[in-house]
Amino acid sequence: MSVQAYILIQTEVGKASSVARAVSAISGVTIAEGVTGPYDVIMRAES
């Protein structure tokens, strides 16, 4: 049985794309995308 978590990230202005690319390279991260609203990046991790 795996556990999944959604993580919401706030970044500095203009850094959302680079943060999404960086966290998507982390082992266990299944998706990371830039979003609009109070958070800049949403990622899903699985273990």
**CB of 23 closer than 8 Å to CB of 43:** yes
Determine the pLDDT at residue 1: 85
Q: Please report the domains of the chain, with CATH numbers, ordered by start residue.
A: 4-46 (3.30.70.920)
Determine the pLDDT at residue 42: 98
Specify the pTM. 0.87
Determine the pLDDT at residue 3: 97
| CA–CA dist 28, 4 (Å, integer) | 9
- The one-digit pLDDT tens for each residue of the chain (47 residues) are 899 999 999 999 999 999 999 999 999 999 999 999 999 999 999 99
Rounded to 5 degrees, φ, ψ at 10 are: -105, 135
The residues facing 5 across adjacent strands are 45
Q: Is 41 exposed, middle or buried (0-12, 13-18, 19+ CB in 10 A)?
A: buried
Determine the pLDDT at residue 18: 97
